[in-house]
Structure 1
Amino acid sequence: MPVIRSVLTVGSWTMASRILGFARDMLIASRLGAGPVADAFFVALKLPNLFRRLFGEGAFNAAFVPAFAGTLAAEGKASAQALAERMGALMSIWLGMLVLVGMIFMPQLMSVLAPGFADTPAKFALAVELTRITFPYLLFICLTALVSGVLNGLDRFAAAAAAPIFFNLISMAALLFLTPYVATPGHALAWGVTASGIAQLALVLWATARAGMALHILRLPAITEEVRLVLKRMVPGVIGAGVVQLNLAVDIIIASLLPSGAISFLYYADRVAQLPLGVIGVAVGTALLPLLSRQLRAGQPLSAHRSMNRAFEMSLLLTVPAAVGLAVAAGPIIGALFLRGAFGSAEAAASAAALVAYAFGLPAFVLVKVFAPGFFARGDTATPVKVGLLAVALNLGLNLVLMGPLQHVGVALSTALAAWANAGLLAWLLIRRGQYVADRRTRRRAPRILTTAVIMGAAVLALAWVLPAGAGPFGRAAVAAALIAAGGAVFLAIGTAIDAFDLREMVGMLRRRRAPSQKSA
């Protein structure tokens, strides 16, 4: 299946980026811990990333990729390139203005995003300063998302998926080598973030040139009918496609009102949960949207139906065992990754508790990426907006109820519950409209995947009780590795035995990926 091969291409590069991301976060934890500088930096990173997900990877791609893919199929390469260049020019202008305004009014923005920081003036001032350094990253990374959308529309997935590697490499280099020359390690990291945005944009522009579509976006924009259509679909999609990020922004607002360190605990837990979410969710959403757009544009509803079923099935297969494994082994995993230097046992325990809550919502986060393209590929961005508004309201309400008794864990649990509400409503609406029906294969395999994951979780939990606590970084890493390996072995054995998945089919897909991957490089 093309969708599976494309998911594997994106997923493999994303996996490499996530592994480097763990190395970066381990370095940050050892140098910054979970204190005020760490809290300030994570807020400074969150703000441009929020806008990036809303305007870049979220709403923009949801509107632009179907339009680009449809123009490419119907009118040819020249028309598709013209559309991309016009959108790029328009984005450069208004995002540049947004960055300028944001940097000027950063204290006011910070009062909204992290109101709890106002009680500590030094922490508030540091967060403002660091966010002013990172905010230009928004412009570069949103343009990177546009060019990546062009590459995805051309079925070239590798370069766009590999670009985030520069974020991790440059951030680590800045923390290691720039720290002695700036005020705090947080300043070094902030400068590394902005530099990585420039590097990522350069990479994807080079890749489009290699693909025969060199883009020239530094020109005056022309507002054509195609551009108006993208903008029309993009405006409501700002909320619909970026609902997960809006929920995470609510989390930051609430967490800033909690005791110092809460933002850092949530960050470290979220980073672990982001490994399967990023590898699977980003890969599925990236590969599925242009494929569904082409299939529906070509009048192939059965092919689109089959693509959604395979994406749903693959998402369950990869996220459910990951969620169960992260929940039952949260303590050993957090300890192995971050327990060193300025990050002590208390910080590890607090982050592990948040990871359990995030793990509960992990399948839902990815299923949103599966179901949302079913609307976007049909040009419907209004429905995800309505569902997104409900999810954001639910997340806010749950946060206010749970933040008192559960502190930062209540924040993470609220996000997970809102994600399930989001995914469930999107699925229900697609089913009601007849735009998604689980086929016989999915109906047979889905409950078996769930059963296999429960058995695996019980086995990992039992092993965690038996194994002694690891001493030192290598001991903790050995315990976590043993739990992960045992869980994987049990899942493969039980899943194969009860036909939850076909191992030969998975191996065959991995082998057949080589040729498409080389094409998309």
Structure 2
Amino acid sequence: MSLLSKFATVGGATLVSRIFGFAREMLMASALGVGPVADAFNLAFRFPNLFRRLFAEGAFNAAFIPLFSRSLEEEGEEGARRFASEVFSTLFTVLTGLTVLAMIFMPFLVKTIIAPGLAVCMDDPSAGGAVISCDDRYAITVAFSRIMFPYLACMSLMAMVSGILNAFRRFFAAAAAPTLLNFILIGVIGYALHIGADKATIGFMMSWGVLVAGIAQLAMVVVAMRLAGFGVGLRRPRWTKGLKRLLILAGPAALIGGITQINLFVGQAIASFKPGAVSILQYADRPYQLPLGMVGVAIGVVLLPELSRALKAGRMREAQHTQNRSLEFALFLTVPAAVALFLIPEPIIRVIYERGEFEPSATAAVASVLGLYALGLPAFVMIKVFSPGYFAREDTKTPMIATLISAGANIVLSLGLFWLLAERGIALATTLAGWLNAGLLFLGLYRRGLWEIDRALLKRATLVCLCSAVMGAGLIFGLAELSPWLGTGDGIHRQLPALGALVIAAMAVYFLLAFLTGAADRSQLTTLMRRRRQAAKPASRPEDE
């Protein structure tokens, strides 16, 4: 199964999840708008979601997979099962204790970590004409956080099971499981709107929906693991050599792999000082997460096992080739996406959100943030490409230092720019910190001779930038021509076809230029299509699933 084919499998499943995530955010924006209930839900959900991203896309993909793969090769399936059971039992015990403590001390966590701005906020009229005071905002944030916090435990255990599936090259179930969250929340919001629930009630219903989704996602990957012929048992936790090594690798890896979410979490905590700012950042984050999730997660999940196998076998040229082709793939999709999101954020936000409780003034605010987020999109995907170069060599110290430097820069910049540019300052700080992190990670690999840039990468990266620039010029021209159909006063029946035509035309220009100039690796794409046709045949191999 080719590298590009694996990227496509995981990226495709993630794309489906992100598309339904759009539908979820659209319904939420229509139901809650930009206000205190939306702020409370986003603040409460961000905390467990932060740990989900740290574990699912950072610590376990970076630390567990190489150790589990080594156990599988050196001790066989029985040894791998013993190691996995040790990790699962310890993780289950720790998460249970953490959840109990968090439920007890949640008011303190909200006041000091999750939303410190609520302690000094100004009363804000919203939510169905009622006035939600600072005390009310604080109370519902605590309530939502308590309901959703067990989601953290479910997602952390799911991450471990997903790591086992990825080590067996079973990528689809783990990538598709997050879609359950979107399905459940779409159903919850739709039902709440149908019965005419008020905003606070909708917030509570969504919080319970998140918890149910966490349980369903964990169940889905456990079933997939069982179908793959592997299982883990719950036993008394013991401090073993393998567990110690995992913790040594996983701590720094969690920080490195989750830097995007750490930056967003810090940004939302600072944004809690301004009513509505948290919701603005969250709504802007959704369109930005579509390409980041589709490309970044696919690379993060697939690249590490491939790189680890090549290095363990001593195939250094293959490892270098894998790294360069992964960076090509990242740039090929993220650079044009960043250009489009930077140039036409307002029509995108208007079509996605502007209806119901989401007013035109909110569209302008969210669009300005999305444009700044877009500038950092290539950087955050490149972090997913550079990090496995360290993890596959079991080096977590170097990227951890780079991550801590960029996280510190993000906090300083966010605090300074927030008072000048409000939520736009936080978005700009996140983008600058992302580029700093990507630059430090690349320099570390390059100076140690662990990354050799080949001529094909230089050529295709240059051509991708040129093709994206031409596409951007076309977007500016098309936006001017279609502006009568993309304004606030126009209905969705006019806005959506106009925006769709603009995006499709831009994609056609970019991909046509990419194929004509050689910015796209035609041989890789041809191989992918051939393998897809073979996979559709009844005789396809199990490892191609």
TM-score (ref. length: structure 2): 0.92
Match of 1:408 among 413, 418, 423: 423
The equivalent of 1:193 in structure 2 is 210
Q: Are the counterparts in 1 of residues 351 and 492 from structure 2 also a CA contact under 8 Å?
A: yes
- Written as runs of structure 1 = structure 2, the 5 A alignment for 1:375-394 is 375-394=390-409
Deviation at 1:56, TM superposition (A): 4.0
The equivalent of 1:510 in structure 2 is 529
Q: Deviations over 1:273-321 (max 9, x none)?
A: 0000000000000000111111111111211111111100000001000
- Written as runs of structure 1 = structure 2, the 5 A alignment for 1:31-70 is 31-70=31-70
Deviation at 1:473, TM superposition (A): 1.5
Match of 1:493 among 496, 512, 515: 512
Q: Deviations over 1:74-97 (max 9, x none)?
A: 322221122112111111110111
The equivalent of 1:280 in structure 2 is 295
Q: Deviations over 1:325-349 (max 9, x none)?
A: 1111111111111111111111111
Are residue 341 (structure 1) and residue 376 (structure 2) matched? no
Are residue 241 (structure 1) and residue 241 (structure 2) matched? no
Q: Deviations over 1:87-144 (max 9, x none)?
A: 1111111011111111111111111221111231110111110010000000001101
Q: Deviations over 1:409-453 (max 9, x none)?
A: 111111011000000110010000111111121111111111111
Are residue 317 (structure 1) and residue 332 (structure 2) matched? yes
Alpha-carbon distance between aligned partners in 1 of 2:254 and 2:170, rounded to the nearest angstrom: 25
Deviation at 1:236, TM superposition (A): 2.6
Question: How many equivalent residue pairs?
Answer: 519
Q: Are the counterparts in 2 of residues 67 and 230 from structure 1 also a CA contact under 8 Å?
A: yes
Secondary structure at the aligned position of 2:376 is classed as helix
The equivalent of 2:314 in structure 1 is 299
Q: Are the counterparts in 2 of residues 339 and 348 from structure 1 also a CA contact under 8 Å?
A: yes
Q: Are the counterparts in 2 of residues 159 and 207 from structure 1 also a CA contact under 8 Å?
A: yes
Tell which deviates more after alignment, 390-399 or 470-479.
Answer: 470-479
Alpha-carbon distance between aligned partners in 1 of 2:253 and 2:524, rounded to the nearest angstrom: 36
Alpha-carbon distance between aligned partners in 1 of 2:218 and 2:262, rounded to the nearest angstrom: 25
Alpha-carbon distance between aligned partners in 2 of 1:414 and 1:280, rounded to the nearest angstrom: 22
Alpha-carbon distance between aligned partners in 1 of 2:79 and 2:511, rounded to the nearest angstrom: 48
The equivalent of 1:269 in structure 2 is 284
Quickly say closer, same or farther: Cα 1:169–1:488, change in 2 above 3 A. same
The equivalent of 1:10 in structure 2 is 10
Q: Deviations over 1:449-469 (max 9, x none)?
A: 111111111111111011123
Q: Deviations over 1:231-276 (max 9, x none)?
A: 1112232322322222111101111112x21111110111100000
Alpha-carbon distance between aligned partners in 2 of 1:496 and 1:459, rounded to the nearest angstrom: 18
Tell which deviates more after alignment, 341-350 or 220-229.
Answer: 220-229
Alpha-carbon distance between aligned partners in 2 of 1:503 and 1:323, rounded to the nearest angstrom: 23
Quickly say closer, same or farther: Cα 1:430–1:212, change in 2 above 3 A. same
Deviation at 1:34, TM superposition (A): 0.9
Q: Are the counterparts in 2 of residues 337 and 477 from structure 1 also a CA contact under 8 Å?
A: no
Quickly say closer, same or farther: Cα 1:342–1:517, change in 2 above 3 A. farther
Deviation at 1:2, TM superposition (A): 2.9
Q: Are the counterparts in 2 of residues 332 and 479 from structure 1 also a CA contact under 8 Å?
A: no
Are residue 440 (structure 1) and residue 455 (structure 2) matched? yes
Match of 1:473 among 492, 497, 514: 492
Are residue 132 (structure 1) and residue 146 (structure 2) matched? yes
Q: Which amino acid aligns with 1:159?
A: A
Are residue 463 (structure 1) and residue 464 (structure 2) matched? no
RMSD, aligned CA: 1.7
Q: Are the counterparts in 1 of residues 57 and 300 from structure 2 also a CA contact under 8 Å?
A: no
Alpha-carbon distance between aligned partners in 1 of 2:532 and 2:83, rounded to the nearest angstrom: 30
Quickly say closer, same or farther: Cα 1:94–1:310, change in 2 above 3 A. same
Secondary structure at the aligned position of 1:313 is classed as helix
Secondary structure at the aligned position of 2:237 is classed as coil
Q: Which amino acid aligns with 1:115?
A: P
Deviation at 1:3, TM superposition (A): 2.2
Alpha-carbon distance between aligned partners in 2 of 1:504 and 1:306, rounded to the nearest angstrom: 14
Tell which deviates more after alignment, 135-144 or 242-251.
Answer: 242-251
Alpha-carbon distance between aligned partners in 2 of 1:64 and 1:35, rounded to the nearest angstrom: 40
Q: Which amino acid aligns with 1:143?
A: L
The equivalent of 1:350 in structure 2 is 365
Deviation at 1:61, TM superposition (A): 2.6
The equivalent of 1:227 in structure 2 is 243
Tell which deviates more after alignment, 357-366 or 47-56.
Answer: 47-56
The equivalent of 2:230 in structure 1 is 213
Q: Which amino acid aligns with 1:206?
A: V
Q: Are the counterparts in 2 of residues 37 and 186 from structure 1 also a CA contact under 8 Å?
A: yes
Deviation at 1:73, TM superposition (A): 2.5
Are residue 424 (structure 1) and residue 443 (structure 2) matched? no
Alpha-carbon distance between aligned partners in 1 of 2:49 and 2:338, rounded to the nearest angstrom: 24
- Written as runs of structure 1 = structure 2, the 5 A alignment for 1:64-83 is 64-83=64-83
The equivalent of 2:183 in structure 1 is 169
Q: Are the counterparts in 1 of residues 61 and 304 from structure 2 also a CA contact under 8 Å?
A: no
Secondary structure at the aligned position of 1:76 is classed as helix
Quickly say closer, same or farther: Cα 1:517–1:8, change in 2 above 3 A. farther
Alpha-carbon distance between aligned partners in 2 of 1:174 and 1:140, rounded to the nearest angstrom: 20
Alpha-carbon distance between aligned partners in 2 of 1:339 and 1:507, rounded to the nearest angstrom: 41
Deviation at 1:222, TM superposition (A): 3.2
Alpha-carbon distance between aligned partners in 2 of 1:443 and 1:430, rounded to the nearest angstrom: 17
Alpha-carbon distance between aligned partners in 1 of 2:514 and 2:256, rounded to the nearest angstrom: 35
Q: Which amino acid aligns with 1:485?
A: I
Alpha-carbon distance between aligned partners in 2 of 1:250 and 1:450, rounded to the nearest angstrom: 31
The equivalent of 2:126 in structure 1 is none
Alpha-carbon distance between aligned partners in 1 of 2:48 and 2:542, rounded to the nearest angstrom: 33
Deviation at 1:482, TM superposition (A): 1.4
Q: Deviations over 1:11-62 (max 9, x none)?
A: 1111111111111111111111111100000011101011222244312331
Q: Are the counterparts in 2 of residues 48 and 138 from structure 1 also a CA contact under 8 Å?
A: yes
Tell which deviates more after alignment, 405-414 or 423-432.
Answer: 405-414
Are residue 483 (structure 1) and residue 499 (structure 2) matched? no
Q: Which amino acid aligns with 1:17?
A: S
Q: Are the counterparts in 2 of residues 56 and 143 from structure 1 also a CA contact under 8 Å?
A: no
Q: What percent identity do the matched residue pairs reach?
A: 44
Tell which deviates more after alignment, 330-339 or 55-64.
Answer: 55-64
Q: Are the counterparts in 1 of residues 485 and 498 from structure 2 also a CA contact under 8 Å?
A: yes
Unaligned runs of 5+ in 2: 122-133
Alpha-carbon distance between aligned partners in 2 of 1:501 and 1:178, rounded to the nearest angstrom: 46
Q: Are the counterparts in 2 of residues 14 and 279 from structure 1 also a CA contact under 8 Å?
A: yes
Unaligned runs of 5+ in 1: none
Q: Which amino acid aligns with 1:141?
A: M
